[in-house]
Chain A
Amino acid sequence: MVKKRTWASIYLFCVFVVLYLPIFYLMFYSFNKAGTMTHFTGFTLDWYKEVFSDKRLIVIVIDTVIVALLSSVISTALGVVGALAVYSTKRRSAKNALLSLNNILMVSPDVIIGASFLILFTLIGIKLGFVSVLLAHIAFSVPIVVLMVLPKLQEMSPTFIDAARDLGARRRDVLLKVVLPFITPGIFAGFFMALTYSLDDFAVTFFVTGNGFSTLSVEIYSRARQGISMSVNALSTLIFLITLAIVLVYYFFSNGIGKAKSYSGGRRV
């Protein structure tokens, strides 16, 4: 038994090494004086200075964050409404059809979604740039939010709604005071999922972005093509750390709050 567990731990360790080694490799050389990824000649923060002094890059980072926050807030709102609509659809066939349409958007390749948005935007004459990127990000985030919120709704006993109505609640009260509080963890999960999807999206953004507007992933891609500079490594390290922070915040929301609350009531007799 003990032996089995050691082997399992070793296996798990190896998997994580394989997954994380390239990232740590990249992070390690972001401190390299030599400016290459072959010989480590000495520690420096020059590449980070370069990143922070690069005005264009700072603007892109801000743009990326704005697009991510805006698109995830809007898509969370739309996704919650969508999930409620799917949940309250009575007919089984209609419900399944809606869900399938939602899931197709989830599984179809980003390249196809990006290309089709490009066609759509040029057809209806939306200028490629901030608006087109935002719209595209909202569009691919909504299905994610729906998928995160819907299980929470299905987990909810239908008698909650009956009970609220029975106690005098109008439809609005039922939604605001019973349904929404119950699905809040799902809403947060959906929001953070949408945020990460938007932050690291490359393919869709690459298609729909235009002159003068770029996001980080697109920018890194174009810089990497011109030859690797260690400032790309420094930038990637920063993004990795920020992503890690977001994951931790998400973890805090999904676990921390629920637990802290349930223990505040004291122990059971």
Chain B
Amino acid sequence: MAEKMMIQFDHVTKKFDGETILRDISFDIERGKFYTLLGPSGCGKTTILRLIAGFLEPTEGTLTFDGQLVNKIPPNKRQVNTVFQDYALFPHLNVFENVAFGLRINKLASKEIAPRVKEALHFVNLDGYQNREISDLSGGQKQRVAIARAIVNRPQVLLLDEPLSALDLKLRTAMQFELRQLQRRLGITFIFVTHDQEEALAMSDEIFVLNQGKIEQSGSPRSIYDEPINRFVADFIGESNIIPGKMPQDRVVSFAGKTFNCVDQGFNKNESVEVVIRPEDLELKQRGEGLLQVRVESQLFRGVHYEIIGKDEAGNSWMIHSTKSAKINDEIGLYFEPEAIHIMRHGESEEDFDRRLESYEGADHD
């Protein structure tokens, strides 16, 4: 276990000029996984990255690498390398010298440097680019050089600070795939910072969803998408319909004036809750069929699907993603499986939430 835990945040708080950026954060980073810190701008995700890199010191709490306290260790003495948002490639050096920078600083013999640089450039598919000047590279190529410059030092952890945000959509998708591949091949820990939920879902082993200096939820992309802990996470990751409801008993939920079967349990009798149903889990039916009746208010063609907004009799708004189209002002039926319903308790902590989910998910498998 101790082998696997490499970075540990223990009740870390960070303040700038009296303003709290991170509040009492604790989490572990394990060896060899792809982590994503996901959150809106100003949530503190970059601050976490800079704490790990050593550019900042925690105001309170401890930060340990492999059990050793590193709060005051400067960045040049940490086995961590960063890929910066603006790449920060040195314009006065060519590609080779940029990548070799860290090796030269660490006084490696020059006959060792050349093969290492070549290998790193090969890893990022930039064979033969050694002699290019930085100003002659495209955005995607700069990105790769920045990654090569970081991995050539064989860090334990690679930190990536929104590295894809300056690329166009197509290149970004291609780079997401490549980064994931690279992480698997190198077998080192990647910590990736982004505000793009699709990026996070596509690449990560584990996601930390941050908001206002706190970790709202952590877990695999699947579990965060399917079982968001609260309104913020449900809203931030994907589209969702969030409707107020009540739990008359376990596995039964009532909302929009009706009662439905669901798979959630562990609530107080008649506890008021929030009900989440993803738009793609709603199926269009003929009028009178299905579980809910809604009137179509608007429809947008999104390419992959239609985005239909409808209103039910109780006045709740529903977003539906469907490959079928509907007519505005028509009454339509909506159907969903009991598994599509996810119930969120008000103000539940992440520990309680995980415990409750485990208690009945384990039972289901028997």
Contact = CB atoms under 8 A, between A and B. Distances in A.
B92 interface: yes
Interface in B72-106: 74-77, 80-82, 84-86, 88-94, 101-102, 105-106
A159 interface: yes
A168 B94 CA distance: 19
B81 A268 contact: no
A123 to B, nearest CB: 45
A163 to B, nearest CB: 4
Given A159-B88, A168-B76, A182-B92, A261 B149 contact: no
B131 interface: yes
Contacts of A162: 53, 55, 75, 82, 84, 88
A262 B135 contact: yes
Interface string A162-178: 11111111100100011
Contacts of B287: none
A166 B138 contact: no
A264 interface: yes
- Please give me the 9 A-B residue pairs with the lowest Cβ-Cβ distance, nearest first: A167-B102, A163-B88, A159-B88, A265-B133, A181-B92, A165-B75, A265-B132, A168-B105, A168-B76
A160 B88 contact: yes
Nearest to B91: A182
Interface in B49-85: 53-55, 74-77, 80-82, 84-85
A160 B75 CA distance: 13
A262 B132 CA distance: 9
Contacts of B136: 262, 265-268
- A-side binding surface: helix, strand, loop or mixed? helix
Interface of B: 53-55, 74-77, 80-82, 84-86, 88-94, 101-102, 105-106, 131-133, 135-138, 149-150, 153
Contacts, number: 82
Contacts of A184: 92
A82 B54 CA distance: 28
A53 interface: no
B351 to A, nearest CB: 35
Contacts of B91: 182
Nearest to B135: A262
A132 to B, nearest CB: 39
23 contacts: A157-B86, A163-B89, A165-B54, A165-B55, A165-B76, A166-B81, A167-B81, A167-B105, A167-B150, A168-B102, A168-B106, A169-B76, A173-B105, A177-B101, A178-B90, A262-B135, A262-B136, A264-B131, A264-B133, A265-B131, A265-B132, A265-B133, A266-B136
B304 to A, nearest CB: 33
A184 B86 CA distance: 22
A268 B76 contact: no
Nearest to A162: B55
Interface in A153-206: 157, 159-160, 162-170, 173, 177-178, 181-182, 184
Interface residues of A, number: 25
A164 B77 CA distance: 12
Contacts of A165: 54-55, 74-76
A266 B106 CA distance: 30
B125 to A, nearest CB: 13
Given A181-B92, A182-B91, A163 B84 contact: yes
B53 A166 contact: yes
A167 B74 contact: no
Given A168-B105, A169-B76, A181-B92, A163 B133 contact: no
Contacts of A267: 136
A185 B82 CA distance: 28
A179 to B, nearest CB: 10
Contacts of A181: 90, 92-93
A204 B93 CA distance: 42
Given A262-B135, A265-B131, A266-B132, A166 B90 contact: no
A168 B207 CA distance: 29
Nearest to B104: A177
Nearest to A167: B102
Contacts of A160: 88, 90
Contacts of B85: 159
A36 to B, nearest CB: 55
A261 B101 CA distance: 19
A166 B137 contact: no
Given A167-B105, A168-B102, A262 B92 contact: no
B105 A163 contact: no
A167 B76 CA distance: 6
Contacts of A265: 94, 131-133, 136
A149 to B, nearest CB: 16
B82 A163 contact: yes
B74 A159 contact: no
A267 B25 CA distance: 49
